[in-house]
Structure 1
Amino acid sequence: MTTWEYLTAPLLVHATQQILNNFGAEGWELVQVVPGPNPNSLVAYFKRPVTG
C-alpha cells in the first residue's frame, strides 16, 4: 500500500510555472490549485509517495 505525504504551498501568479516545475523536480505531484487569500495568489496542493 502506498503511503502519501502532502504539501500546501502558495503560488504567485507571475511565477506559477517556475514554482510548479520546482516542486515537480522534487517529486511532488500537483493535486489541485485553488484561489488564495488575495486576487494575485493561488494555493497549490501536492502529494508524493513516502519513501523509506
Structure 2
Amino acid sequence: MTKWEYFTAPVLSHISQQILNNFGSEGWELVQLVPGPNPDTLVGYFKRPLPEDK
C-alpha cells in the first residue's frame, strides 16, 4: 500500500506557475487549490509518496 506525506503552502497568483513547478520538481503533486486569506493568495494542498523505508 502506498503511504503519503502531505504539504500545505501559500501560492501567490502572480507567480503560481513558478511555485507549482518548483514543488513539482521536488515530487509534490497538487491535490487542490483553495482561496487564501487575501485575493492575491491561494492555498495549495500537495502530496507525494513516502519512501519505502519510512
Aligned partner of 1:33 in structure 2 is 33
Task: Give 5+ residue unaligned stretches, structure 1.
Answer: none
Residue correspondences, number: 52
The share of aligned pairs that are identical, in percent, is: 73
- Structure 2, unmatched stretches of 5+, are none
* TM-score normalised over the length of structure 1: 0.97
Q: Deviations over 1:8-33 (max 9, x none)?
A: 00000110000000000000000000
Matches of 2:40 and 2:17, distance apart in 1: 15
* Runs (4+) off by over 4 Å: none
Query: What RMSD, in angstroms, separates the aligned Cα atoms of the two structures?
Result: 0.5
* Partners of 1:40 and 1:49 in 2: CA distance: 30
Q: Secondary structure at the match of 1:39?
A: coil
